[in-house]
Chain A
Amino acid sequence: EAGVAQSPRYKIIEKRQSVAFWCNPISGHATLYWYQQILGQGPKLLIQFQNNGVVDDSQLPKDRFSAERLKGVDSTLKIQPAKLEDSAVYLCASSYGRQYEQYFGPGTRLTVT
């Protein structure tokens, strides 16, 4: 069974530029999560989808971050414009449902210069 796929694996941009990350969850997983992991800290949930609806986006900085999950499968996370403090690893995870184990992708390491 294929795992959670993410791309790109690495991205370097200048501040005020925009960037997008892509996630393909495990087939059949209804719940999809995006986490931000800043160096030296644990992952922090940015947004959680159930199928293509948002369950929790309370920690998403909505003035610059946006995410969508069209058709309830793939998802994209966008940052526009990026700030230096957005440098982090962005992890995507999926699960069969809210109460089931989350499986994590390898992450996208973003560096904002």
Chain B
Amino acid sequence: AQSVTQLDSQVPVFEEAPVELRCNYSSSVSVYLFWYVQYPNQGLQLLLKYLSGSTLVKGINGFEAEFNKSQTSFHLRKPSVHISDTAEYFCAVRLQGGSEKLVFGKGTKLTVNP
């Protein structure tokens, strides 16, 4: 069975600072990788995804992530954060084939302070 570990439950940063949210996964089969963002009292919104090809993936709102197969990681980065980036971020994997269901990590709460 696959699993997702988000190494930090909370990450506080100052506005305009860079940030990295870490995600590691384990799976015996090939997976697709996703990052979702959840603002308070809202559903999840897709930030970016890795399906194949270039291991550096760019998403919305200036976020990017790099797939590292040898380290089974998919860390999310942003060079300069804004107050509006304050939210919960979820890493997820999806098995290739079968029901194609998403398995989520526990989430990382990013708080951007002025």
Q: Is the CB of B106 within 8 A of A101?
A: no
User: Looking at chain B, what size class is its interface with the partner chain?
Assistant: 20 to 34
> Is A40 at the interface (CB under 8 A from chain B)?
yes
> Is A98 at the interface (CB under 8 A from chain B)?
yes
User: Looking at chain A, what size class is its interface with the partner chain?
Assistant: 20 to 34
Q: Which of A43, A55, A101, A105 has the most CB of B within 10 A?
A: A43
Rounded to whole angstroms, the CA-CA distance of A102 and B43 in the bound complex is 11
Q: Is the CB of B43 within 8 A of A4?
A: yes
Q: Is the CB of B100 within 8 A of A104?
A: no
Partner of A40, one of B43, B103, B106: B106
Q: Which residues of B contact A99 (CB under 8 A)?
A: 100
Q: Which residues of A contact B105 (CB under 8 A)?
A: 42
Q: List 8 A-B contacts (CB under 8 A).
A: A4-B43, A40-B106, A42-B107, A43-B90, A43-B102, A91-B43, A91-B44, A107-B41
> Is B30 at the interface (CB under 8 A from chain A)?
no
